[in-house]
Structure 1
Amino acid sequence: MVRFSKATTAWLLLTPMMTIIIGVVGYPLIKTVYYSFTAAHLASPATTDCWVGFKNYLKALGNSKFLDSIENTAYFVSVSVSAEIIIGVLVALLLNQAFKGRTLLRALLILPLALPTVVNAMMWRLIYGPDFGALNALLTQIGLLAEYQSWLGDPDLALWMVAIADIWKNFPLVALITLAALQTISKDLIEAATLDGANAWQRFWTVVFPAIIAPVSVALVLRTIEAFKVFDIIYVMTRGGPANSTKTVSFHVYQEAFAYMRIGSGASYALIVVLISALLIATYLWLIKKQGDTA
């Protein structure tokens, strides 16, 4: 019987997984990097080998539409993620209290999170419908609107409306993470703070907040990374319109590479997005390490 060292055995066990990762992730990534330095175009296969160097990257950094898509993405992330954190924490604090029906509400909290993003986007697009949408019907019946509003057709409102749909779907993730952290807080600490004369606000800042800050920080970074890559909800609800007011970086990459078939420049846009995402991931890892050091 052939005996292998522990290191050799480990590498042999990792080989199938490494092979799949290299084939599924590594090879496409290398091809994307290669294409980003060429003038590759889907309609002209001969352009695949047309080397242009850093021209695509310089063009991307000087493209006002691409820079606008980054601005739209940053705006979407700031609005969506901040609202998800605030609502998620408040809902978690509510569901941590003892009241009748709490278990049912906790179960219902999972439903928006379990809903596929495309289904969620279609549902909210129907709600926002300018002719028969439920939101217009509700607001006109209670007197807040005189006439129906085209929520997704107004450049000043469209991104906000998409953000609301995203918030509704993803705030339960923050709520569940926060609720799990709240469950670890000893009731003795709360009772001791109460006996010391601390009111509800003081108990929150001195006992509850220190216990949930680390999990909420992780949820913040995770949601920031996901929100920065937003594509599907934009594609279904607005297709980047009206007037590019909801075009995000991921949607811009999709248009450049597949709608306009400019694979070379689309690859350069995609790699710029990857670099920005890598910075967000590095922040996430730093927070995890910091949490482990302080634990």
Structure 2
Amino acid sequence: MAEDSGPTVLPGDRTLAYLALMPSAAIMILLIAVPMITVFALSTQEIELGTMSGPFVGLRNFADVLTDPAFFTALYNSFVWVFGSVSIEMVLGLGLALLLHQKFALRGAARAIILLPYLVPTVVAVMVWHYMFNDIVGVLNYLLMATGIVDHPLLWLNSPGTAMLSVILVGVWKFFPFVVIAVLGILQAIPQEQYEAAMIDGANSWQRFWRITLPHILPIFLLTALLRTIWTFHKFDIIYLMTGGGPIDATTTLPVLVYNKGFVDFELGRAAAVAIVTFIVLGVLLAIYLMLMKRAEARQ
């Protein structure tokens, strides 16, 4: 008896499928290609705010950007912002997900409370944290001075030494629930029989985590880290609303620099050049990240 090789796909069916996908594909191409072509065109012109065309200058805007110390300051700040935020979010999110996966009283309420920061609008979160960081009436300075950790109020948002730490703390507080959601979802899909068999074999908690939990959650964990890296790299609102990129460019990241070039200095051509260079930098980082992720998955 011949084996069933599955449903036969007729040429007409394939053509119909392509025709059905063409409108969506065309819309996606327009949404991606048109803005990218427009930005690249802007980057090759000397354009001021209020105009959409100007003299062609070739790659001069890119040369100006790559020789501007402000660009390298923003690039460094972007790496600090992304690495600091994502690393803390991933570690904190993993730890809390493992904790919330355990059975204890009021576990449902605890899960709901953990997710609240992710639901708070960014503007509201920034307003609350602005008040908490206030050097006179802020609760953070009050607690630090009450416990004797510091003897004078800290200028959280007005000091170059603490401004970046402050915005990182706000970003972590706002977005670590996303990591908790992702990791907790895959933890609940791990068969409990594997843990029971490991316990019968005498495996301790660390061995069960290393041999069972980690291999199951690693692909989702790495994918979550990748998404958080992408989203954090081009995050604009938290930093701009908290510090405006200051003090003294201490928190000016590449997205903030694009805004400043375009809408503060009125140099749309250079702003577009910064945006394209930012895209290239992010693309290189993501290529390296994907390569490392594939190697990690291959070792499992």
1:120 matches 2:148: no
1:34 matches 2:38: no
Deviations 1:220-261 (A, max 9, x none): 111111111121001100000011010000000110011111
| Structure 1 residue 200: Cα displacement | 1.2
Could you say which residue in structure 1 is the equivalent of 2:69? Answer: 64
Q: How does 1:78-227 map to 2 (within 5 A)?
A: 78-227=83-232
Deviations 1:194-225 (A, max 9, x none): 22222211211111111111110001111111
**In structure 1, what is the Cα distance between the partners aligned to 2:297 and 2:24?**
28
1:218–1:287 contact (8 Å) kept in structure 2: no
> What percent identity do the matched residue pairs reach?
36
Q: How does 1:227-238 map to 2 (within 5 A)?
A: 227-238=232-243
- Residue segments in structure 2 that go unaligned for 5+ positions in a row: 1-10
In structure 1, which of residues 251, 262, 278 is the aligned counterpart of residue 283 of structure 2? 278
| Structure 1 residue 7: Cα displacement | 5.3
Q: Which amino acid aligns with 2:39?
A: T
1:36–1:267 contact (8 Å) kept in structure 2: yes
1:253 matches 2:258: yes
Could you say which residue in structure 2 is the equivalent of 1:264? Answer: 269
The normalised TM-score by structure 1 is 0.89
SS of the residue corresponding to residue 194 of structure 1 reads: helix
**In structure 2, what is the Cα distance between the partners aligned to 1:291 and 1:113?**
29
| Structure 1 residue 14: Cα displacement | 4.1
Could you say which residue in structure 1 is the equivalent of 2:57? Answer: 52
Q: CA RMSD in A?
A: 2.5
**In structure 1, what is the Cα distance between the partners aligned to 2:62 and 2:278?**
12
Paired positions, count: 290
User: Aligned in 2, Cα 1:7/1:288: closer, same or farther, shift over 3 Å?
Assistant: farther
**In structure 2, what is the Cα distance between the partners aligned to 1:149 and 1:63?**
32
The normalised TM-score by structure 2 is 0.88
Deviations 1:71-110 (A, max 9, x none): 0010111111111111011001100111001111112222
1:35–1:267 contact (8 Å) kept in structure 2: yes
User: Aligned in 2, Cα 1:102/1:112: closer, same or farther, shift over 3 Å?
Assistant: same
Q: Which amino acid aligns with 1:207?
A: I
User: Aligned in 2, Cα 1:160/1:93: closer, same or farther, shift over 3 Å?
Assistant: same
SS of the residue corresponding to residue 49 of structure 1 reads: coil
